[in-house]
Amino acid sequence: MRKDWPKHGYSVRNVRIFRGMEGQGFNATLCRDGRRIAFVIDDASGGEIDIQWISGHTRDVEEKLLLNLLKTLPKEQLEGIEYDVSPDIFIATLVEETSNEDRLRRLFRRQTLFRLKNDPTDDDKWRVFNAPFTSSVKGQLVKRFGDNLAHILNEDYPNLNPRSRK
């Protein structure tokens, strides 16, 4: 979840990403507090995200709750222009975060990702230790690289690391 957004209870499940006419599109199930409330589609045609609410009653209640939450979020900035977070931006951000977490979860099953102090930090390149992150793997990295070890990505996402089999 974005660090500048308060906890909100919204999530997406069953995310499917595909290539569309104008970039990457997706469809997903939008949930609030773990309960399914809508099906969302970005068909990557340049238009808005289509939100298909579960029912008419759900639409009235849930749409109002979502819009009220969006009013509380900090404004976005692009090229010096401030604007409110729209439902499209909010849902696309949820989808992106979920996709990133899924990608990291797959990587973390078999790898520990780390950087040394002299590695560039402005890109998404990480050094790889081919073993799932554990305290013994961290010990091996510290022993091998000492003070030159700058960062272990797996430590930032403890809930994405595989559970130990003890």
pLDDT in tens, 54-109: 977 778 889 999 999 999 999 888 888 998 999 999 999 999 999 999 999 999 99
**pTM across the whole model:** 0.82
Q: Could you report the per-residue pLDDT of 42-54, keeping only the tens digit for each?
A: 998 888 999 999 9
Residue 166: pLDDT over 60: no
- Identify the band that residue 21 occupies on the pLDDT scale cut at 50, 70 and 90: confident
Average pLDDT over residues 148-154: 94
77 is written with which tokens? Answer: 């900035």
Percent of the chain with pLDDT over 70: 98
pLDDT at 7: 85
Q: Cβ distance 44 to 22 under 8 Å?
A: yes
Q: What is the mean pLDDT of the chain?
A: 90
Contacts of 110 by beta carbon, 8 Å cutoff, 6+ apart: 130, 131, 132
Q: Could you report the per-residue pLDDT of 114-147, keeping only the tens digit for each?
A: 999 998 887 788 999 999 999 999 999 999 999 9
Q: Cβ distance 53 to 62 under 8 Å?
A: yes
- Residue 26, Cβ density class (10 Å: 0-12 exposed, 13-18 middle, ≥19 buried): buried
Contacts of 127 by beta carbon, 8 Å cutoff, 6+ apart: 113, 114, 115, 116, 119
Alpha helices in the chain (DSSP H): 56-72, 87-108, 135-145
- Residue 161 to residues 29, 113, 136: CA-CA distances in angstroms? 24, 11, 14
